[in-house]
Amino acid sequence: AQSVTQLGSHVSVSEGALVLLRCNYSSSVPPYLFWYVQYPNQGLQLLLKYTSAATLVKGINGFEAEFKKSETSFHLTKPSAHMSDAAEYFCAAHNFGNEKLTFGTGTRLTIIP
């Protein structure tokens, strides 16, 4: 069964610094991959998705992620952190033919002024 691992439950970066949030999937067949953001007391908002087209995916709010099959990874980056980026970030995988999204446990991003 598919599993998604997010390394680092908490990440702190200074405002203006690079943001790097890590995500690895387990399946031998590359799934579709998603990054969602969750602000306090809110639902999930899609940041970006990989669907087997370009391996470098650009999303909203300046985020991007690179799919690397050899590393079974889909890490999320942003060149310059902003205070408004403070939130919980979830990586999720969907294997075609399966109805569900499998989520990682999330990474809480804190921005230091």
Give the nearer residue to another protein in terms of CB position, either 22 or 94: 94
Number of Cα atoms under 13 Å in the Cβ half of residue 75: 12
Give the nearer residue to another protein in terms of CB position, either 36 or 74: 36
Contact 27, 74 (CB under 8 A): no
Least Å distance, CB 76 to another protein, is 15
Least Å distance, CB 102 to another protein, is 7
Rounded to whole angstroms, the Cα distance separating 2 from 6 reads 13
Least Å distance, CB 89 to another protein, is 10
Residues linked to residue 45 through DSSP beta bridges, in sequence order:
37
Positions touching another protein (CB under 8 A) are 4, 32, 34, 36, 41-46, 49, 51, 90, 92, 94, 96-106
SS3 71: helix
